[in-house]
């Protein structure tokens, strides 16, 4: 019964009747759309990914390597990746977990703390392997305890980043206990992000995993040096999926799923063709027992079906022709990296997702476990 409900309402889609596919509006069908049910696109990149560490790498890395050419690797390990040296060692462990022959490239990040020195930024840039620094407000999410307690402490380091052109990726939520969890992103925009962008007029910022209509507008109205990632779960689900008719721990992530109006605004932004919105899955694996718990961890494991989920969302919006820009062009352009040259092909053919997958010595429940996704990687 529980499973049936989850199945039936996971696509509580908005009313899309009357939406005209982009290629029909323009009158010419782009070369990328062979038929309505096959799409070939430049190989995408994932601009926000958690791979964890140790023996689980072998179970997590291959899913992303199969789909994406590159990924921005989040540094919220225990202990966090705060130095270039630690990032270089972590990168080697990720490379070693790739399937044979894979060219998947982990783009490393540093975890910003109150004490990250400007000299560490110089080392990071000189290394050539660090592509961003991640700001977690302390206490905002999984393994953020060493994060920033007061942004005032980071200005010299942020200025060094601005000078060197190193991107700042932000988990954009305030953390005060008295702020409602559904309002934490909205309040971050005007209270922290606005002043931060003004104080550092050359700093390049990626606002990670947008979840609200307000964040969509903030980015659209923001400067050219402000980009944003959007996850598949926030394009496909709202808070009813998480909470109505039973609490579903595998739909719990941070920032938390919001209202249907927010989901609609995110889908509109992602499918708009606007170059500063791009793909970042925020695939965040946690062992089953850590999710199905009285105090379950935040994070949704989407890596095994990530690009397929985005294809579902774009198909729902009648915007498959815009998937390539969002998934494969905008992020690379924003990070100043070359676009990939090979391609992937997705076929509109349902694929069953196993109820459980191996995760080190434990097991993990991916999104759509025991259910299916509409698209299959050819
Ligand atoms: C992430 C994790 O588990 O590391 N969890 C999540 O819900 N997204 C951390 C994060 O990105 O907030
Ligand atoms: Zn994340």
pLDDT in tens, 91-114: 999 999 999 999 999 999 999 999
Four-residue CA torsion sign, 266, 268, 269, 275: positive
Question: Which atom from ligand 1 is nearest to the alpha carbon of 253?
Answer: 7
- Taking a C-beta distance cutoff of 8 angstroms, is the pair 155, 199 a contact? yes
Which ligand gives the minimal distance to the CA of 291?
Answer: 1
282 noted as active-site residue: yes
- Taking a C-beta distance cutoff of 8 angstroms, is the pair 239, 219 a contact? no
Residue 232 CA, ligand 1 centroid: distance in Å: 14
> Number of folded domains in the chain?
1
Provide the CA 289 distance to its chain's centre, in angstroms. 23
Residue 346 CA, ligand 1 centroid: distance in Å: 27
Residue among 64, 119, 8, 60 at smallest CA distance from 308: 64
Residue 28 CA, ligand 2 centroid: distance in Å: 38
Residue ranges lining ligand 1, Cβ < 6 Å:
50, 76, 141-142, 171, 253-254, 282, 284, 298-299
| Residue 140 pLDDT | 87
304-to-64, 67, 132 alpha-carbon distances in Å: 7, 9, 25
> Which pairing describes strands 226-230 and 205-207: parallel, antiparallel, or unpaired?
parallel
Q: Which two tokens stand for residue 54?
A: 């140790």
Tokens 């109505």 belong to 244
Residue 123 CA, ligand 1 centroid: distance in Å: 27
Residue among 249, 355, 370, 237 at smallest CA distance from 298: 249
| Residue 142 pLDDT | 84
Kindly write down the DSSP assignment for every residue of 301-334, as one continuous string. Answer: --GGGHHHHHHHHHHHTT-GGGHHIIIIIHHHHH
Rounded distance between C-alpha atoms, residue 50 and residue 321, angstroms: 28
| Residue 32 pLDDT | 52
- Taking a C-beta distance cutoff of 8 angstroms, is the pair 43, 344 a contact? yes
Return per-residue pLDDT of the chain as tens, 378 residues: 333 334 434 444 333 333 444 434 443 444 455 456 999 999 999 999 999 999 999 999 999 999 999 999 999 999 999 999 999 999 999 999 999 999 999 999 999 999 999 999 999 999 999 999 999 999 888 889 899 999 999 999 999 999 999 999 999 999 989 999 999 999 999 999 999 999 999 999 999 999 999 999 999 999 999 999 999 999 999 999 999 999 999 999 999 999 999 999 999 999 999 999 999 999 999 999 999 999 999 999 999 999 999 999 999 999 999 999 999 999 999 999 999 999 999 999 999 999 999 999 999 999 999 999 999 999
pLDDT digit string, tens, across residues 47-76 = 999 999 999 999 999 999 999 999 999 999
Question: Which atom from ligand 1 is nearest to the alpha carbon of 48?
Answer: 11
| Residue 13 pLDDT | 37
pLDDT digit string, tens, across residues 152-169 = 999 999 999 999 999 999
- 313 contacts: CB under 8 Å, gap ≥ 6: 232, 235, 236, 267, 270, 271
| Residue 141 pLDDT | 86
Q: Whose CA is nearest to atom 6 of ligand 1?
A: 299
Rounded distance between C-alpha atoms, residue 230 and residue 213, angstroms: 12
Rounded distance between C-alpha atoms, residue 92 and residue 322, angstroms: 34
The overall pTM is greater than 0.85? yes
What is the span of the domain harbouring residue 65?
2-25+33-377
> 364: domain CATH number?
3.20.20.140
Give the active site residue among 282, 333, 371, 374: 282
């Amino acid at each position: 019964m529980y499973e049936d409900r989850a199945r039936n309402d996971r696509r509580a889609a908005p009313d899309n009747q009357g939406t005209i596919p982009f290629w029909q509006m323009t009158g010419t069908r782009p070369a990328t759309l062979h038929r309505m049910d096959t799409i070939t696109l430049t190989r995408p990149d994932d601009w926000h990914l958690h791979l964890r560490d140790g023996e689980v790498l072998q179970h997590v890395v291959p899913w992303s390597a199969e789909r994406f050419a590159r990924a921005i690797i989040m540094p919220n390990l225990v202990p966090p990746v705060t130095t270039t040296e630690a990032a270089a060692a972590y990168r080697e462990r990720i490379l070693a977990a790739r399937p044979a022959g894979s060219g998947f490239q982990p783009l490393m990040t540093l975890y910003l703390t109150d004490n990250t020195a400007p000299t560490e930024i110089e080392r990071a840039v000189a290394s050539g392997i660090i592509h961003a620094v991640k700001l977690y407000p302390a206490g905002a999410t999984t393994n953020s305890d060493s994060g920033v307690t007061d942004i005032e402490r980071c200005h010299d380091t942020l200025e060094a980043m601005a000078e060197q052109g190193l991107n700042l990726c932000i988990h954009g939520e305030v953390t005060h206990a008295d702020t409602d969890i559904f309002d934490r992103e909205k309040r971050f925009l005007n209270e922290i992000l606005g002043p931060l962008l003004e104080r550092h007029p050359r700093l390049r910022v990626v606002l990670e995993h947008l979840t609200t209509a307000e964040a969509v507008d903030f980015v659209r109205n923001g400067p050219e040096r402000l980009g944003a990632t959007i996850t598949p779960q926030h394009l496909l689900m709202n808070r009813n999926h998480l909470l109505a008719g039973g609490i579903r721990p595998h739909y719990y992530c941070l920032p938390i799923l919001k209202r249907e109006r927010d989901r609609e605004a995110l889908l509109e932004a992602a499918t708009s063709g606007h170059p500063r919105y791009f793909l970042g899955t925020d695939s965040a694996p946690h062992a089953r027992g850590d999710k199905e718990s009285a105090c379950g961890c935040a994070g949704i494991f989407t890596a095994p079906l990530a690009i397929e989920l985005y294809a579902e969302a774009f198909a729902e919006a009648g915007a498959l022709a815009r998937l390539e820009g969002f998934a494969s062009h905008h992020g690379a352009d924003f990070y100043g990296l070359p676009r990939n040259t090979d391609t992937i092909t997705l076929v509109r053919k349902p694929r069953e997702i196993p109820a459980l997958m191996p995760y080190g010595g434990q097991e993990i429940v991916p999104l759509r476990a025991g259910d299916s996704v509409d698209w299959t990687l050819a």
